[in-house]
Structure formats: C-alpha cells, structure tokens
Amino acid sequence: MKITEARVMVTCPNRNFVLVKLLTDQDGLYGVGEGTLNGSELAVAQAIEHAAKLLIGHDPLATEDAWQLIYHWGYWRGGPIFMAALGALDLALWDIKGKVAGLPVYQLLGGRSRTGVACYGHAHGRDPQEVEDNVRRFMERGFHHVRCQLTGGIGGYGGPGMVRFEPDPDPKLPGYNYFDSTPYLRTAPKMFDHLRQKLGDEVELLHDVHEQLTPIEAAGLARELEPYHLFFLEDPLRPEDQERFGLVRAASTTPLAMGELFTSQRDCLPLFQNGWIDFIRIGPIHVGGLTEARKICVLAESFRVRSAFHGPPDIGPVGQAAAVHLDLAIPNFGIQEWTSFPEVVQSVMPGGCEFRDGFAHPSERPGLGVDIDEAAARKYPYQQAHMPLVRRADGGMHVY
C-alpha cells in the first residue's frame, strides 16, 4: 500500500479551515487531516503541499517514520506553520491506519480509559450578572466546567481591561483591542466573588488571561483568585516568559494551565520539570499531530500534569476529533475545551464528535470518524482574515 496523492483545501464555511486528504493506491482508502492555524491558513496550506511530496510512494501505516521524515527533511524545522502542516499530514496517516485496522483511532492509542471526555464551555458577559446567567445556561446543558470571562469590548478578552475596540479602515485587516491591565486586575476577582456567592461550589470555574499580563501582575492575579478555587487559570504568561512561571507558582496554589501556543515537546518540558503547571494546553494539530501530542502526554504523566487540549472555534471537526480520540485513551486526561460547530461547518466536515451532558464522544467508525466533502468545501473559498491585535491604552503595541 502506498500514498499516491495529497489534496489540500482551504475552505471558509464560517471561518477558514485548512484540510488535507491523503489518497492511497487502495480503491476508496484515504485519510483526512487538518492544519488550521488562525490567520496563517495559506502559509500552512503551501507547507502541506510542499511536505506532502515526500509522502508520495510512502507506506501510510509507517506513521512514526513519516513523521520523522517530514520533521527532519528540511534542516530548518519547528515553528507553528511547519508543525501545523506536519500535524495535518500526521492526522491523515492515523485516519488511514484506523480504517485499515477497522478501528477508531482511540483504540490504536491504547483503548478507552473513560466512558466520555469531560468538556468546558465559554461563558462571557459584560458584567458579573451576565456571566452568571451564561454559566447557568451551560450548566443546564450538562457542563460541569465553565470558563468565565468579562468582555469589555468587541472581541475583548479578559475583562473591562479591554477598554475599547477599533476596526481597521481596511475591512480585510484586523482591528485593535486596547488593553489596560489595571481595570482588568480589579474586576476579574470581583467577577469570581460574585459567581461563587451565586453559584456555590458545585460548578468548576476557569479563567483565561490570554497572556496579557506581566509576570508580577499574573502572580498577583493568581493569589487574588485563590479563594475562589478555580479549576485552573489559563495562560497567565506568554511563552516567551515561561522562565518566570516560578514567580506565579510561588504566589498561589491556584492551578495553572499553559501551552496553546506551544509547538513541540521541548516547549513543554521545562514547565513539567519545574512543577510550574498543572494542565498542558496544547492543540494536537499544532504540535505535529497525534504522534507528537501522545509523546507530550507521556512526558506530562511523569510529572503529574493533566491534559487540557486547546479546542477553539478555529480548530475544526477533524482537529477536534483527533483531540477527543487522544483524550479518551490517555490516563492523565484533565479536561477538553469544547466548541459546537454550526451546520454549515458540519456539511464540509461531516461525522464529527458528539456532545452529551457535558461529555464529548468520538465516532466509533474506523479512523477519526470525520470525512471531508470536497464539493461542499469548494462552495466556500478562502476569505482573508487575521487575528485581532492588542494595543495598550496609550496606542502603543501591547508587547509586554
């Protein structure tokens, strides 16, 4: 059995997704993968097409050898675009492997370790009462874990610290969120004080800093949130500041989560070794696929770090399915960030995971269980889009 062709698609049913089909010389046998990287979709698509040439004629079941071949072939390696491209191809190879075996991918990763994958949703609001109302809506849907954010501006993250949003005059370019840490640091603890008074301790609450704080600010926030017993505080620092995580850890026993911008096990290892985090937030499609993500989870297990895979709306049903298959198998699973996709996305990528009463369930079909409808994908061509940018209140870029 050999790989004969790679078909790369960038489609925008509601936002841009980067997809790949790897075809084999066995009639009707192919694998699907995803390498969506928000704002860099065309760059990743080109990288997939370039790297996929190495796989033509390759045995699709030799997933480890294929991974090492692509990772090492170009001398310059690593980084988000390269690893997202590698992740897309790796997922497609695992999909083929599952189809050949006649088993869902989680069975190839060690089998079922739990009956379902616990998930958390996102409850936003302009004030604590609106956040509370939205948390209750998630609880009514069966969620036991909810991330809570005050939104002070359009697209704002974190809270009223996002003092305003200004669109770019060119609608194809990103707008700017303006951030001021002082009101954010004042209002976030007040929000959690309100939520705990109204909701009690029955629901697990989470919060995402989105890497907007300095190390000393993050340490202070973690300390102030300690009485509210968060399930975790996410991304308190930027990856560039990871050597300062010791400061945040020493300030509080609030559990810490990090890693959605990581692209390899080497990014994760210092945080594991130093005991600085409790949850690793990688996205399997962004670290080179299931092959690398599984290795990161093995490393994390040795240091009693649990998984909390990145699952935003810009990772589609293929990438989501890969994460849930791995979640189901690993012993050190923690939580899965959950996104429900609109019907138009499901029409392009049918067969995704199911969500019931707070838990996700992968398909029991062989492989990842998700397909790519190429005709549907062609209906929704790529639309230029970028991530929103953050400036400080005085207009300067928010770089520290």
Q: Which residues are identified as catalytic?
A: 157, 210
DSSP 44: H
Q: How far is CA 373 from the centre of its chain?
A: 23
318 within 8 A of 349, measured Cβ to Cβ = yes
Q: Cα separation of 314 and 84, whole Å? A: 13
Q: What are phi and psi of 24, to 5 degrees?
A: -120, 175
SS3 content of the chain, % helix, strand, coil (to 5): 40, 20, 40
| Nearest alpha-carbon partner for 387 in 37, 45, 83 | 37
| Nearest alpha-carbon partner for 338 in 118, 86, 91 | 118
| Nearest alpha-carbon partner for 117 in 298, 311, 355, 279 | 355
130 Cβ neighbours under 8 A, 6+ residues apart: 124
Q: CA-CA distances (angstroms) from residue 27 to 4, 93, 368?
A: 11, 16, 19
Q: What are phi and psi of 147, to 5 degrees?
A: -85, 135
> Concatenated DSSP letters for 164-199?
EEE--SSTTS--EEEE-HHHHHHHHHHHHHHHHHHH
Q: Cα separation of 45 and 18, whole Å? A: 6
